[in-house]
Amino acid sequence: MVPLLARRALLAAALGLAGRRRLPRHHAPAAARPSSGAGGEPEAEGSNRATALLRHLLLKLRATGPVTVAEYMREALTNPGQGYYTHRGAIGETGDFVTSPEISQVFGERIGIWYISEWMATGKPKAFQLVELGPGRGTLIDDILRVFNQLASLLSKCDVSIHLVEVSPKLSETQALMLTGGKVQSNPEDTSAYMKGVSKTGIPIFWYRDIQDVPPGYSFYLAHEFFDALPIHKFQRTEKGWREVLVDIDPEVPDQLRFVLSPSSTPATENFIQPEETRDHVEVCPEAGVIIQRLACRIEKDGGAALVADYGHDGTKTDTFRGFQNHKLHDVLRAPGTADLTADVDFSYLRKMAQGRTATLGPIKQQEFLKNMGIDLRLQVLLQNSPDTATHEQLLHSYDMLMNPKKMGDCFNFFALLPHHRLVHPDKKHKPESLPPVAGFGELLLK
Ligand code: SAH
């Protein structure tokens, strides 16, 4: 079990009694991005870039014929010249979509406490790496680092380092500014870390393009709204069997794209559709499967844990592919490169891809996870200490965005990969109760 003194420090941090408190970041905007549906807003800005990427895609389609939705999505999001994340990546109130860490610092603090709690539950290893996939503006890791700093006495003998996996040069610059004040060394020639720096609190930070470049070792992994940005394949059941949905040029309208069905089955239909499938339309994200396999292998070998938070389902939803621009739904085939494209994460697929190498927990709803992590107590402390009614209102408004089942509370989920021995004692004689509970996924560790 977690020693009493350490638990007290953790409890104090959970309530916000330790360290400096910051005010909420800003008013949460009207819309986060999870809801799906028809729509599409005409867009004016960014059309030059869209034209360039669209021209590139039209050339490619004319030369090779239709491409898979996965290939289209990869180009639209991460094309090195004109992809959405590589060049726009507008996250936050003034951008295209907002994420939980951008709404309130309380979110990242709960996650920081989750990692410390797991580190303590596994006997406080002498070193750990915190690896974030797709860190966006760097806000979440900044909030986590503040918690680590508040708990400096607990972590004083632990060698902590931060490893960020980010493909976007634009967003990695934003992250460097947020986390280090811009004091970084870039080395694009380096085949592993393309940038290095030290956080404002003195912790080394490294940037990579691929999870495979992160050095091995006991690591905690974090993927918040990362898996939904990875390319999906789409499949449609027809009278002749399963067909893959492809993207092609619309012959009726110049320079416009449309969806078509493959004339016969494709290697992807053969590989990704299960014989027992009951849905008529299915989305599969093989890249997510590969990354989960890598995380599961690393956790099995070197220890640690992974926390995945995203909107998604457990193998039940059908057509969730959608685009966002300026907080509004955007036609996925219009002006590629100017809008965020996303699809719900299939947690049942992630669980399957862990292939028993690790145990999995969840998915559980964001509101349950945050409640279990003590968000209500933290809100009370912030309200008691807040100086004015405007701050009170901001705190309550951002709490409502994160927790309200109709906003982000129900559609966002938390899912974890943990070594088997974390949940079941290797010596079978030990009762499961002898292991500390995993914070957030069940009874409160911090109560
Ligand atoms: N986690 C952040 C940002 C989510 S947006 C938040 O919650 O606010 C998705 C992030 O993943 C961006 O940083 C984007 O540049 C990055 N990303 C998208 N595809 C990626 C890939 N294939 N490899 C690494 N990073 C990727």
Query: How far is Cα 358 from Cα 260, in angstroms, rounded to an integer?
Result: 39
Ligand 1 lined by 53 (C-beta under 6 Å): no
Pocket test for ligand 1, best of 131, 142, 167, 310 (most atoms within 8 A of CB): 167
**Does any ligand 1 atom lie closer than 6 A to the CB of residue 147?**
no
pLDDT at 403: 98
Closest ligand 1 atom, CA of 287? 22
Beta carbon of 95 within 6 Å of any ligand 1 atom: no
134 lines ligand 1 (CB under 6 A): yes
**Token pair 């993927």: residue:** 223
Taking the C-alpha atoms of residue 180 and residue 164, their distance in angstroms, rounded to an integer, is: 13
Q: What's the distance, Cα to Cα, between the start and end of the chain in Å?
A: 14
Q: Which ligand 1 atom is the nearest neighbour of the CA of 85?
A: 15
In angstroms, the CA 211 to CA 129 distance is: 13
Which spans in 213-330 are helix H? 267-272, 286-302
How confident is the model at residue 35, as a pLDDT? 57
Non-local (6+) Cβ contacts of 79 within 8 A are 53, 56, 86, 337
pLDDT along the chain (447 residues), means of 10: 51 53 43 50 46 93 96 97 89 91 96 97 97 98 97 96 97 97 87 93 96 97 98 97 97 94 93 95 98 98 98 97 96 95 98 95 97 96 92 96 97 97 79 81 57
Does ligand 1 lie within 6 Å of residue 98's CB atom? Answer: no
How far is ligand 1, taken at its centre, from the CA of residue 344, in Å? 15
Q: What confidence score (pLDDT) does residue 315 get? A: 96
Closest by Cα among 231, 226, 228 to 211: 226
Q: Is the CB of 169 under 6 A from ligand 1?
A: no
Residue whose CA lies nearest to ligand 1 atom number 21: 167
Question: What is the distance in A from the centroid of ligand 1 to the CA of 421?
Answer: 31
Ligand 1 centroid–CA 239 distance in Å is 38
Of the candidates 175, 418, 431, which has an alpha carbon nearest to the alpha carbon of residue 300?
Answer: 418
Residue 51 pLDDT: 76
Domain boundaries, the chain: 85-231+285-366+415-422, 233-284
Q: Ligand 1: does its nearest atom lie under 6 Å from the Cβ of 85? A: yes
- For 29, 134, 145, 308, the CA distances from 445, given in Å and listed in that order, are 32, 28, 21, 20
Atom of ligand 1 nearest to the CA of 86: 15
What token pair was written down for 216? 């091995």
Residue 176 CA, ligand 1 centroid: distance in Å? 15
Residue of minimum CA distance from atom 17 in ligand 1:
134
- Which pair of structure tokens corresponds to residue 309? 């938070």
Between the CA of 135 and the centroid of ligand 1 the distance, in Å, is 6
How close is the Cα of 380 to the center of ligand 1, in Å?
Answer: 32
Ligand 1 centre distance from Cα of residue 224 (Å):
8
Q: Is 166 in the pocket of ligand 1 (CB under 6 A)?
A: yes
- Residue bearing the CA closest to ligand 1, atom 6: 136
Peptide bond into 363 cis (omega under 30): yes
> Is the CB of 131 within 6 Å of ligand 1?
no
Which among 405, 415, 408, 411 is positioned nearest to 438, based on CA atoms? Answer: 415
Q: Do the Cβ atoms of 364 and 400 come closer than 8 Å?
A: no
> pTM (2 decimals)?
0.92
Give the C-alpha distances (Å, rounded to integers) separating 49 from 119, 247, 355.
45, 20, 41
Regarding the beta carbon of 289 and ligand 1, being less than 6 Å apart is answered no
Is 168 close to ligand 1, i.e. is its CB under 6 Å away?
yes
- Where does residue 284 rank: exposed (0-12), middle (13-18), buried (19+ CB within 10 A)? buried
Q: Which atom of ligand 1 sits closest to the CA of residue 139?
A: 8
Ligand 1 near 101 CB (within 6 A): yes
Closest of 420, 433, 13 to residue 443, by C-alpha: 433
Alpha helices in 159-217 (DSSP H): 169-180
| Residue 211: per-residue pLDDT | 97
User: DSSP assignment, residue 215?
Assistant: P
Nearest to 403 by CA among 367, 446, 349, 365: 367
Cα–Cα nearest to 195, from 164, 226, 241, 239: 164
Topology (CATH) of 85-231+285-366+415-422: Rossmann fold (3.40.50)
Tokens 């109560």 sit on residue: 447
Query: Ligand 1 atom 13: the closest Cα is on which residue?
Result: 136
Q: What is the largest CA-CA distance in the chain?
A: 71
Q: Is the CB of 136 under 6 A from ligand 1?
A: yes
Nearest alpha carbon, ligand 1 atom 23: 167
